[in-house]
Amino acid sequence: MTPGVPLPAGMDLADYLHDVVLHAGPSMQEEPVSFAGTVVKKFTGEFWTSRQRQGGSLHEISYRACFKPQLPRFFISLLTKKGDVVYDPFSGRGTTVIEAALMGRSVVANDINPLSRVMTEPRFFPPELEQVEKRLTLIQKEGCSADIDLSMFYHPATEQEIAALREYLLARKEAHRDDMLDRWIAMVATNRLTGHSKGFFSVYTLPPNQAVSPASQEKINKKRRQAPEYRDTRQLILTKTKSLLRTLTGEERRNLARAGKSARLLSEDARCTKEIPDESVDLTVTSPPFLDIVQYREDNWLRCWFNGLDEQAIGKRITMARTLDGWSSIMGQVFGELYRITTPGGYVAFEVGEVRKRTVRLEEQVVPLGIHAGFTCDCILINQQVFTKTSNIWGVENNACGTNTNRIVVFRKS
């Protein structure tokens, strides 16, 4: 059902979704919802699935609370054309901008956590497998142990390989000699640090989008009666590289490179992005932090260490509102900034979710915030789908107490 072309001239998104619901039958629903006197249409159904144009392999980079590429593709296809600018102010692993680039759009990404750039930038310039293999042979495989205790995660020989790779990458970066090949290797290694299979550097631990504390890992080891086994880090980097590249076409490589050359990749507070000109963004597709559900700082401590980033300093910059009023205040300022940078006729697709066992429905907060900033709320779209195994592991149940790609509020700038 994902459309492949922009909306016909003169048709707005709500009219399009109304037609979709009419043709789909009882599996989809449409109903009006009132927000302080403003009536907004809400559409519920399966507007895309995980099997609809299986997400390209380049997206297979793990990160907490990320949405699937089918979500941004749905809106990018409908609401933009080639060359238009697509933005994500809470970019995370870069799903929105990578998908937009694959589709021939220009991109702007922002995330206050600099790990976002580590995970996004190299994918605009994917290397050939042979290039990665050649570069890895030039990097010393053995070295000293890590400067922190990682014995609960890694075999001593694996730890030496990780420490040697880290030393090489940080030295290249400090000398301003790191290139996109180095950054690709850093990205892949960052995403192989911990996981729950032999495809990762570590012994069995929680899913690959988070790193538990050393004390928690020791408990896992004891409970499972496991000890870290040796992992060939070089081979695992090559294996993951091959997997990331497996569906890329020549046209997609050209699109990525074109977008990458002009991309703005920022690490600023989403409320103040002065580097983005007024009325320059055609579409924003984003998913903001949801209150204090996901602990981005604690989950990424090991990734920060590997990339030479100050976890504590980053944590102080990340705003994690614990109350609904606090969250709404922050998002209100974000909407003010989004209104400034959005082109007349441009859109914002703001993905939110049901949290805290259905007691909080964030779209009820978001609609007034967007309208107050000056936007028109076109509709609310609810894509019903089953949550992933990873979501259930960290306490999220389908349509009960968490978020995935299920509730999107769409705004338009007149």
Read off the tokens for 326: 């606090």
Show the beta-strand stretches assigned E in 223-341: 264-266, 281-286
Please tell me whether residues 33 and 76 are part of one structural domain.
yes
Please tell me whether residues 378 and 265 are part of one structural domain.
yes
Domain count, the chain: 2
Please tell me whether residues 56 and 158 are part of one structural domain.
no
DSSP reduced 3-state for 23: helix
Say what the pLDDT of residue 21 is.
83
Mean pLDDT per block of 10 residues along the chain (414 residues) reads 66 88 82 89 84 75 81 94 96 96 98 95 98 96 88 97 96 97 98 94 84 93 97 98 97 98 97 98 93 63 94 75 87 97 97 66 90 96 65 41 66 96
The residues, any chain, with a CB within 8 Å of residue 131's CB and separated by 6 or more, are: 181
Q: First vs last Cα of the chain: how many Å apart?
A: 27
Give the residue from 244, 266, 298 where a domain finishes. Answer: 244
Residue-range definition of the domain harbouring residue 152: 129-244
Please tell me whether residues 263 and 396 are part of one structural domain.
yes
Give the residue from 203, 218, 244 where a domain finishes. Answer: 244
Biggest CA-to-CA distance, the chain: 66
Please tell me whether residues 162 and 79 are part of one structural domain.
no
DSSP reduced 3-state for 286: strand
Say what the pLDDT of residue 385 is.
64
SS3 per residue for 105-162: CEEEEECCCCHHHHHHHHHHCCCCHHHHHHHHHCCCCCCCCCCCCCCCCCCHHHHHHH
* 220 vs 214: CA distance, rounded Å: 10
Say what the pLDDT of residue 394 is.
37
Please tell me whether residues 237 and 255 are part of one structural domain.
no
Do residues 300 and 118 touch, judged by C-beta distance below 8 A?
A: no
Task: Tell me if 123 is assigned to some domain.
Answer: no
SS3 content of the chain, % helix, strand, coil (to 5): 40, 15, 45
Read off the tokens for 276: 């983005």
Nearest CA to 348 among 273, 412, 408? 412
Read off the tokens for 211: 């790193």
* 289 vs 296: CA distance, rounded Å: 9
Please tell me whether residues 405 and 311 are part of one structural domain.
yes
Please tell me whether residues 85 and 112 are part of one structural domain.
yes
DSSP reduced 3-state for 226: coil
Amino acid (1-letter code) at residue 141: K
Read off the tokens for 361: 């429905």
Please tell me whether residues 377 and 233 are part of one structural domain.
no
* 365 vs 76: CA distance, rounded Å: 24
Question: What is the number of alpha carbons within 13 Å of residue 65 lying toward its C-beta?
Answer: 24
For residue 177, the Cα-to-chain-centroid distance in whole angstroms is 28
Say what the pLDDT of residue 19 is.
87
Using alpha carbons, list the distances in angstroms from residue 55 to 6, 49, 61, 263.
20, 10, 12, 22
Task: Tell me if 2 is assigned to some domain.
Answer: no
Do residues 84 and 6 touch, judged by C-beta distance below 8 A?
A: no
Please tell me whether residues 304 and 191 are part of one structural domain.
no
Q: Which residue has the tokens 């441009």?
A: 346
* 319 vs 56: CA distance, rounded Å: 31
The residues, any chain, with a CB within 8 Å of residue 367's CB and separated by 6 or more, are: 35, 38, 40, 377, 380, 409
Please tell me whether residues 78 and 133 are part of one structural domain.
no
Please tell me whether residues 186 and 65 are part of one structural domain.
no
Do residues 45 and 384 touch, judged by C-beta distance below 8 A?
A: yes
Give the residue from 196, 217, 244 where a domain finishes. Answer: 244
* 228 vs 150: CA distance, rounded Å: 10
Task: Tell me if 3 is assigned to some domain.
Answer: no
Say what the pLDDT of residue 388 is.
47
Say what the pLDDT of residue 115 is.
94
* 254 vs 241: CA distance, rounded Å: 18
Q: pTM of this prediction?
A: 0.91
Provide the CATH number for the domain around residue 101.
Answer: 3.40.50.150
Task: Tell me if 97 is assigned to some domain.
Answer: yes
Instruction: Render the burial of 223-253: b for 16+ CB within 10 Å, e for the rest.
Output: eeeeebeebebbebbbebbeebbeebeeebb
Read off the tokens for 267: 């690490």
Nearest CA to 351 among 29, 71, 87, 98? 71
Read off the tokens for 128: 């050939």
* 117 vs 112: CA distance, rounded Å: 10
